[in-house]
Structure 1
């Protein structure tokens, strides 16, 4: 299964290079990185449960 997301922050901060995890019921099932257009792609097998994305905001500039 391929999941493609477009990510934008309300503050306008760039997301390029941000590491992401796709979670199913709180457990990581795939990893991705935001490209220069703001998209991330996750490749995973079939999963059950509520999906969520976790962003490692520690790489973003303070502001």
Structure 2
């Protein structure tokens, strides 16, 4: 299954290049990187779960 998301920040900043995780019931099931225009595409197995998206915390290690 393909899940497409477009992200916009209220500040107008770009998230391009940010690593994201797709969570199913709180567990990561797919990873993707934000592309042009805030577009992200996740490939995941079909199933019933509560979905959420979060920034991969690995990006914070360099900060």
The number of equivalent residue pairs is 59
Query: Larger % of helix: which?
Result: 2
Unaligned runs of 5+ in 2: none
TM normalised by structure 2 equals 0.83
CA RMSD of aligned residues (A): 1.6
TM normalised by structure 1 equals 0.83
Provide runs of 4+ in structure 1 moved above 3 Å.
56-59
Q: Corresponding residue for 2:46?
A: 46
Q: Corresponding residue for 1:3?
A: 3
Q: For 1:51 and 1:35, locate their aligned partners in 2 and report how far apart those are by CA, in whole Å.
A: 20
1:24/1:47 contact within 8 Å kept: no
Unaligned runs of 5+ in 1: none
